[in-house]
Amino acid sequence: MKKIVVTNDDGLFSPGLHLLYEAVRGFGEVYVVAPMESRSAIGLGLTLHKPIRVSEVIVNGIRAYGINGTPSDAVHVAYDVVVGEFDLLLSGVNVGANLSLQDILASGTLGAAFEAAFMGIPAIAFSADVPDEKQFLDERYRRYLVESIRAIVEFFVEEGFPRGVDVVSVNFPRTISYKLRVVPPAKRRWKQKLDKRVDPRGRVYYWLYGEQLEPEPGTDVYTVLVEKHIAITPLTLSLTSPRVELRIPEEIMSGER
């Protein structure tokens, strides 16, 4: 019997978490361990400087463990406190897509998945390009996500991850499509800009915002935003390229002085 941990970064009360649980509860012993509150854009943040509390709660009929921490904390709480060793980490469904390396590296949904991957546990992160969580309550869209997630998780439970894949990121389009594309992440989705304003006291301040770049065909961004299909993005825990060579002569340092 597989042990599966479900977490997210929008918090225990997000309908995205509940539909993920509903999609996979037939696949084994499923445990829900998640932040009590939304911890979006936290990346791989860990709570090292304050105590973590774990509360067993029932949310919408599901037994869950809520923590006052980050999605990455939740993975450790699951492993060390609630479940012990487990076989699969599922994270999401995030309100909003996590497309491009830029989003992936900053996302808490992916952060939890990477955290599990560091422990050698396969992880799948789910995100949907919805404007807000209300779309998860639309019965047709909700059924679409539940059925698709079930099919995708079933595939990976049976086949396992290919060698070299540590995390799989799945992004759903805003409108229903059952077409799957296996695509790499774009490098960049946003060009950040600062918008200058003046407050009532005459002092300058800025809003940082992201302007979307033209999506490049063959990437996750293009698949989800332009073609409007499901993007499946296999990720490898590595920021080094075997083809890169850097040589620095020892002589650039003038030696012990």
CB of 101 to its own copies, least distance (A): 6
Closest separation between CB of residue 144 and its own copies, Å? 8
Q: What is the pattern of x (binds its own copies, CB under 8 A) and - over residues 221-240?
A: -----------xxxxxxxxx
CA-CA-CA-CA dihedral for 137, 143, 146, 151, to nearest 10? -160
With CB under 8 A as the contact rule, the residue among 1, 56, 61, 163 that binds its own copies is 163
* Edge-first strand listing for the sheet containing 3-7: 54-59, 62-67, 29-35, 3-7, 88-95, 123-128, 167-172, 230-235, 180-182
CB of 77 to its own copies, least distance (A): 7
User: What gap in Å lies between CA 121 and CA 222, rounded to an integer?
Assistant: 29
Residue 65, strand partner residues: 33, 56
Q: Which of 1, 51, 58, 84 binds its own copies (CB under 8 A)?
A: 51
The helix (run of H) or strand (run of E) holding residue 159 is helix 139-159
CA–chain centroid gap for 200, Å, is 39
Asked if 157 interacts with its own copies (CB under 8 A), we say: no
Q: List beta partners, residue 198.
A: 204
Q: Does 245 bind its own copies (CB under 8 A)?
A: yes
Cβ partners under 8 Å of residue 50, min gap 6: none
Residue 198 binds to its own copies (criterion: CB under 8 A): no
Binding of its own copies by 114 (CB under 8 A): yes
CB 119 within 8 A of CB 74: no
> Does residue 179 interact with its own copies by CB under 8 A?
yes
Residue 2 CB, shortest distance to its own copies, in Å, is 18
- 53-72: contacts with its own copies (CB under 8 A): 53-54, 69
Piece in contact with its own copies (CB under 8 A), picked from 6-14, 25-33, 126-134, 204-212: 204-212
| In the complex, least distance from residue 132 CB atom to its own copies, rounded to whole angstroms | 15
CB of 61 to its own copies, least distance (A): 25
> Do residues 207 and 172 lie in contact, with contact meaning Cβ atoms separated by under 8 Å?
no
Size of the site for its own copies (CB under 8 A): 83
Under the binding rule (CB under 8 A), the answer on residue 36 touching its own copies is no
How far the first Cα of the chain sits from its last, in Å, is 62
Q: Which stretch binds its own copies (CB under 8 A): 15-23, 48-56, 57-65, 128-136?
A: 48-56
CB 126, CB 95: distance < 8 Å: no
By the rule CB under 8 A, 244 interacts with its own copies? yes
Q: Counting contacts by CB under 8 A, is residue 19 touching its own copies?
A: no
